[in-house]
Amino acid sequence: MNTYDLLVVGSANADLVVGVDRRPAAGETVLGSDLVVHPGGKGANQAVAAARLGARTALLARVGDDGHGTLLRESMESAGVDTSGVLVGGAPTGVALITVDPSGDNSIVVSPGANGRLTPDDVRAAGELFAGARVVSTLLEIPLETVAEVARSIADGARLVLNPSPPAPLPDEVLAVCDPLIVNEHEARVVLGTDTEGGPGDWDDWARALLALGPRSVVITLGADGALVADASGSSRVASVKVKAVDTTGAGDAFTAALAWRLGTGEALADAAAYAARVGAAAVTKEGAQVSYPTAEEVAAL
């Protein structure tokens, strides 16, 4: 029997958020709101989002021995995440500098800090976490060699979900294990190595091109246009859920976590993506990342 519905291997950051009337141009200074500090990081976000939905969740990550690290561990533990795999030390906790405009759109700069010290040796030492996980989700806010070790560490019968964010070209050995590879339009272009802008007529072609690189399935998130899911049997579209966005920070992480969890329960890819779209929509109706993530009951009421 699996100990965890989802094991997340990834980053944990303190999100330093400032609201702005508009984001500054190069060389320009704008005044913003008071600084707010939220627990964040794509790995910690995914773990909290899944745990809030009711998934048995663990996180393998690294934080600093500092106040931001304490904030992150407390947030995860209060959400029900197993933090036995959260390592402490090596560098200060990672920090994300985030500006949010009145439409809810954000711009983010990340200082990786301790996230950059999560090593392949840390992955190998976490064998019990991998052995107990039904699904493993990872991302690129940790070193690529660590992600490659994650791909090699997937237990028989388990599934790897990868969101290559921030985007970078991926090794064949990683792509071959992804089920699914989850990308937005920008990430898809980077993985495919193209500067071509996409539109509705291109998305199926993009999905086929991504599948040709090796992943077993692909999900392309398309913002207001929903998502496209594809595997060897074909592709289908998933509709978006219309809500008034307050803050989009962390919404993609909520989508990925919900999708990974539902796949682990045996749901088909399109059904899992439709549920994940509702979770992501609920998340953007509140400020912040982890504090905005809904419970299963809140998703059902959306």
Annotated binding site for K(+), which residues? 247, 249, 283, 286, 288, 292
- DSSP H/E element including 149: helix 144-152
DSSP E strand stretches across the chain: 6-9, 13-19, 36-40, 57-63, 86-88, 94-100, 106-111, 135-139, 159-163, 178-184, 217-221, 227-231, 234-238
Annotated binding site for ATP: 184, 221-226, 252-253
Q: Phi and psi (nearest 5°) for 95?
A: -130, 135
How far apart are alpha carbons 58 and 38 in whole angstroms? 20
Radius of gyration of the chain (CA): 18
Count Cβ atoms below 10 Å from residue 43 Cβ, excluding itself: 30
Pull the structure tokens for residue 216. 């077993």
With contact defined as beta carbons under 8 Å apart, do 227 and 220 qualify? yes
Annotated binding site for substrate: 13-15, 41-45, 141, 253
Residue type, 58: A
The number of angstroms, rounded, from the C-alpha of 178 to the middle of its chain's C-alpha atoms is 14
SS3 state of residue 163: strand
Pull the structure tokens for residue 66. 């500092």
Strands 57-63 and 6-9: parallel
With 0-12 CB in 10 A as exposed, 13-18 as middle and 19+ as buried, what is 80?
Answer: middle
* Annotation marks residue 253 as catalytic: yes
Residue type, 145: E
Given the residues 5, 82, 122, 253, the one annotated as active site: 253
- From first CA to last CA, the distance across the chain in angstroms is 32
With contact defined as beta carbons under 8 Å apart, do 279 and 254 qualify? yes
Give catalytic residue positions. Answer: 253
